Amino acid sequence: MVIDELINKIEHTGNPTVVGLDPRLSYIPAYITEKYYKKYGFTKKAAAKSMYKFNKAVIDRIFDLVPAVKPQIAMYERYGIEGLKAYAKTCAYAKSKGLIVIGDIKRSDIASTAEAYSDGHIGMVDIGENTFESDFAQDFITINAYLGSDGVTPFVKDCRDYDKGIFVLAKTSNPNSGEIQDLETDGMTVYQKMGSLIEKWGGELMGSKGYSGIGAVVGATHPEQAKKLRELMPHTFFLVPGYGAQGGKAEDLAVCFDKNGIGAIVNSSRGIIAAHQKDNYKDCFGDEKDFALAARQACIDMKNDLRRCI
């Protein structure tokens, strides 16, 4: 199962890090953007081409150090069709390098619309006599289940049919998540109620290592809530955003892991892909074309930091 594959890759690399491929044009070295501006002008196509070139360079330097990457689709969708092409190419290239791909899409709807979202990202679509796979090479996707279980069922079905996985929003890393997620209902908070539902849904897709292909998004910036969720969800694998730039520390997120040091994967985006812009990583590379060496060192530093506390 795909969850077992993810855990195997984490164990092989010794690194529970997922690199968030969330490029902004301000992160991309000028030698890349200028090349495409010269060819295509100041256009969405030039922006998308630059993003893919940037992502490819980063992937080439980190694929042997980490188990997975997590492209955030919104960063690509802002550039329309050209951006989505860059997203699809990024997913495919990461897969070709042996990485698990977590598509951070946070889709949410009910019934036939949820089914359409699932078909388009992790399922299949029938057209006449032909059946087509998704254009996006994703192993997992993130979803928002706050519409209830009828918005989750189509995704679970495709996970079961096509060996895919999902991470469901439980307790998110943003500062104001508590406005809704920390409200009390029926003797527990909303995020705990969501956690109990995720653990229940996950029973359909248990892997051989004690975790389900139905995982949860649990922010590193809320360690007390994360601790409660780990106790409530012993079979649910956590995707943990919020480390680094958002303020989450390795000491905070240790509670997301089980006693054997597994059970979670921690995301870092700009802390890795924009490391070349930080003064403490300037010595990692000479020419700007070697910028991705800084991303590589940032992955090593993050691994060591996490292992210090797990």
Known catalytic residues are 106
**Residue 248, SS3?**
strand
Of the candidates 133, 114, 117, the one whose C-alpha atom is nearest the C-alpha of residue 125 is 133
Distance CA 242, CA 221 (A): 6
Place of tokens 């256009």: 43
Place of tokens 């090593």: 300
Q: What are phi and psi of 102, to 5 degrees?
A: -105, 110
Place of tokens 């069709």: 81
β-strand 238-240 against 100-107: which pairing, if any? unpaired
- Work out whether the CA dihedral 21, 25, 31, 35 comes out positive or negative: positive
Distance CA 68, CA 70 (A): 7
Distance CA 256, CA 266 (A): 9
